Structure 1
Amino acid sequence: MTEHYELLYIVPIKFLDDDLQKITEQVDVMIKKFNGEITKQDNLGKQRLSYAINDIHQGTYVLVEYDMDKANNKQLDDQLLLTPEVLRHMIVCRKVKTEAEVKRQEMIKEGMRKSKEEELAEIEEKEKDGVKKEELSGVESAKPIVTKEKEKSQRSTLEELDKKLDEILTDDIL
């Protein structure tokens, strides 16, 4: 009896795009070798690991959903343990989502996104109304502009810090 599984595995950061593609193809071939059928595959991106694994601090997370028999799944698990390109892996038995469940989740996500947009719009309107009231009452109009400039400078410094961190992390890779 086939069951639906989810495989999450971590590939060391030293394997870049081409090598990563080869490793994902290698794992796909392993799944097909044990009579598995891949239903979904996602590259979740590069992330810093919580702790070092074999002196490696970053990895690329790859998620694969597939259908396979239980006995073959154990063999796949054993094979992945022997694969040196895969730092860690985890196989979980998943419930197959119906189209109705997928649509429902999409609607929930859409509703959450709309509510956040509405909240942001309300906040922006309140800020604009607050600025207009201060201008009408004779308070200097430079004060709100200064706070906006401070926010912009803080955002830019955060973006600069992110860029510097990315540069440092990529330097560690090379």
Structure 2
Amino acid sequence: MKNKIVLIGMPGCGKSTIGKLISKELNLKFIDMDNYIEKMTAKTIPQLFEHGEDYFRDFETLACTELSERSNVLISSGGGVIKRKENIGILKKESYIIFIDRPLEELLNDVDISKRPLLKEGREKLIKLYEERYELYKSSADDIVKNDKGLRNTIDIMEKLIKFNLIID
């Protein structure tokens, strides 16, 4: 039975903001995967990336494994979690995965690239990541929710989907 929610999507699509609000409304524990990795390693995400992306992704896979053992949680994944099929395989077993699909123009206007290791090259890098990842997000998700009509609208749609598709203790 699926007893947890995982949010996937581009940096800046709303995974953390929406996840925190929905988890409160549905009485679920909220876990931000990047924060979880930082606590696990006692290093920041940028510090982990200093050793290379693969080094970071290894910890991300470990986090997927550990978090997949929890129940009644809502997990906001890192934007690149879909880059390893293994991660999605681990999460899909007992998780309902929602892709928060936010239009590229809105991402470009809102994302603070200074705090994102993979985006330090600027807008062009965000566009490239979007093009590389979009189909992976779609193929990894159980459902896709557009985040283009306001926060409350997006949350309402997601809550209906979650209540319909999830077994929560």
TM-score (norm 1): 0.26
Could you say which structure has the higher strand fraction?
Answer: 1
Structure with the greater alpha carbon radius of gyration: 1
* Structure with the larger RCO, 1 or 2 (CA within 8 Å, 6+ apart): 2
TM-score (ref. length: structure 2): 0.27
